[in-house]
Amino acid sequence: MRSCGDLKVYVYDTTLRDGAQAEGISLTVQDKLKITEKLDELGIPYIEGGWPGSNPKDMDYFHKVRQLSLKRARVCAFGSTRKAGVHVAEDANIRALLEAETPVVTIFGKSWDLHVYSALQTSLEENLKMIRESIIYLKQKKKEVIYDAEHFFDGFKSNPKYALETLKVAAEAGADWIVLCDTNGGTLPHEIEEIIGQVLRAVNRPLGIHAHNDGELAVANTIAAVRCGVRQVQGTINGFGERCGNANLCSVIPNLQLKLGYQCLEEDRLSHLTEVSHYIGEIANIAVPGNQPFVGHSAFAHKGGVHVSAILKNTRTYEHIEPELVGNKRRVLVSELAGSSNLYYKARELGLNLEQDKPKAKEIIAKIKELEYQGYQFEGADASFELLLKRAFGQYREFFTLESLKILVEKRPNDGDVINSEAMIKIRVGDQVIHTAAEGNGPVNALDNALRKALEDFYPELKEMHLVDYKVRVLDGKDGTGAKVRVLIESADSSGSWSTVGVSENIIEASWQALTDSMNYALLKRRQQP
């Protein structure tokens, strides 16, 4: 780690405003309050709550957020400078910012002459007055004022003298921070460095950076800006935002803190980063991509046998940081690409010592490669893989066995879109045979209902287990409706979640394999063998 002394970088989170502008995200007031509390726990000093002048929901949030007992964060209200030709005290947006009653107010103004003429349709001089008068008025109201210079980098390229003049006016008016915005997200890192160098010579105020990701450079541009002397970084959790998103704080923070030695969060807070990323992803109903750096499920996953062999000796061989630093964990995947090292690692996690039985290890590897050739995928089905290992070592026997299964699917002409499904099943548990039936909204649902009905008297813990996800993938599309399919089922109970897999030309059989594996795994976790 390269040390930069005790330099502190102030993180400004705009997930609740800029992030919520992403396509597919719609946060309720309660969602926003939960996220606020989570960001405060993480140690984010500035949380932008929304634009009170734009909609009733954001104003409701600002009323309710006052009731939260935040320990670290200051909530910010966001809005624009006064409108052209309107007295600042009478401007509806400025009044709404004050009604939000936040300690911090963030206002944006135009730095690009194109926007002054085309969007505001006013003069360059009037735009400067709008910036100056808005900041002075808010400072008179005892607010910490953050001035966001919208489209600053594009404005500087178009008319550097005027773009710098807007910053000088904001500084003279008393802005506590001046934030340089790459609003269109098209600026390159070397341009960021060159332009900020000129800003530092012209403006003597603390600077911030607000980068968008349209060129896939928001994180790089943010880091470049900090290295130039910027001390506030604006962004969103998971990079949520309009178009291609904003600078991803889940990458910005650990890069600055772990690689460059800046203090963004308290050290004991950084290890909560992965948890916060996934928590906010769940609330936004947008899954965190598996390959997202630092916090993704695959960020520290190793599949190739050569890689795993190396990390078993020294984790630094294929990991740039220790995953625990950001609250993530190392994962070793088992697949047709795996060597013995992968299997040894996974077996060790399960308390099995394969190194002492190398012929058995070779046998299991051959079995895995054959199954994956058939279409199985164990890297996404850890529970099925654990059952395979335990069966191979004779450390497991089934909790139940199938005697017979029949599924009826009936469609009547007068029932419209309704298709009736019924599963009749005969299951053996110990020396008892249970014969029962159940209906469902489809054949797999009927199968699940019948199996539960047969087993829950013997294994009541199955009542707590529920289906989280059910995926079907066609493996041989050229075979049409006769193609082989792979079914992946994710299940969960109060103790966690797990995934299982099944493969067959018949979707019912593939579903049966994955479903019974999921139930057997649940029982294996919760009780001793009967």
Q: What is the CA radius of gyration of the chain?
A: 29
Question: Distance between CA 312 and CA 124 in Å, rounded?
Answer: 63
- What fold is seen in the domain 401-526? Double Stranded RNA Binding Domain (3.30.160)
Q: Which CATH class is domain 10-284?
A: alpha beta
Contact criterion met (CB below 8 Å) for 38 and 276: yes
Q: What are the phi and psi torsion angles at 406 (to 5°)?
A: -135, 135
Alpha-carbon 289 to chain mean position: 6
Structure tokens at 322: 């220790």
* pLDDT reported for residue 5: 44
**Residue 27 corresponds to which amino acid?**
L
CA distances from 293 to 34, 120, 255, 299, 323 (A): 24, 39, 10, 6, 11
pLDDT of 441: 84
| Structure tokens given for 358 | 């190398």
Nearest to 100 by CA among 150, 129, 40, 141: 141
Long-range CB contact pairs, 450-459, < 8 A, 24+: 450/423, 450/424, 450/425, 451/423, 451/425, 451/427, 451/515, 451/516, 451/519, 454/400, 454/425, 454/427, 455/399, 455/400, 455/427, 455/429, 455/519, 458/400, 458/429, 459/399, 459/523, 459/527
Which pLDDT does position 127 carry in this prediction? Answer: 96
Give strand pairing partners of 147.
Answer: 107, 178
Ordered by start, the domain boundaries in the chain are 10-284, 301-374, 401-526
- Which helix (H) or strand (E) segment holds residue 49: the answer is strand 46-50
- Confidence at residue 530, expressed as pLDDT on a 0 to 100 scale: 41
Contacts of 479 (CB under 8 A, 6+ apart): none
**What is the 3-state secondary structure of 296-313?**
CCCCCEECCHHHHHHHHH
Which helix (DSSP H) or strand (DSSP E) does residue 502 occupy?
strand 496-504
3-state SS string for 166-225: HHHHHHHHCCCEEEEEECCCCCCHHHHHHHHHHHHHHCCCCEEEEEECCCCCHHHHHHHH
* Local structure of residue 289 (DSSP, 8 states): P
Sequential DSSP letters for 13-31: E-TTTTGGGSTT----HHH
Measuring CA to CA, which residue among 74, 70, 154 is closest to residue 111?
154
Looking at residue 528, its pLDDT comes to 47
**Ranges of residues in the chain whose predicted pLDDT is under 70:** 1-6, 304-305, 308, 333-344, 346, 349-358, 379-380, 415, 477-482, 527-530
pLDDT digits (tens, 9 = 90+) for 130-149: 999 999 999 999 999 999 99
Tokens in use for 67?
Answer: 């009731």
Is residue 463 within 8 Å of 451, Cβ to Cβ?
no
CA–CA gap between residue 70 and residue 472 (Å, rounded): 44
How many other C-beta atoms lie within 10 A of the C-beta of residue 481?
6
Residue 471 and residue 501: Cα distance in Å, rounded?
Answer: 10
- The candidate with the shortest Cα–Cα distance to 169, out of 205, 118, 121, is 205
Chain mean pLDDT for the chain: 89
Say if 10-284 and 401-526 have the same CATH topology.
no
Cα gap 359→362, rounded to integer Å: 5
Tell me if residue 479 falls in helix, strand or coil: helix
Token digits for 48? 């932008």
What's at 78, amino acid-wise?
F
pLDDT of residue 330: 82
pTM: 0.75
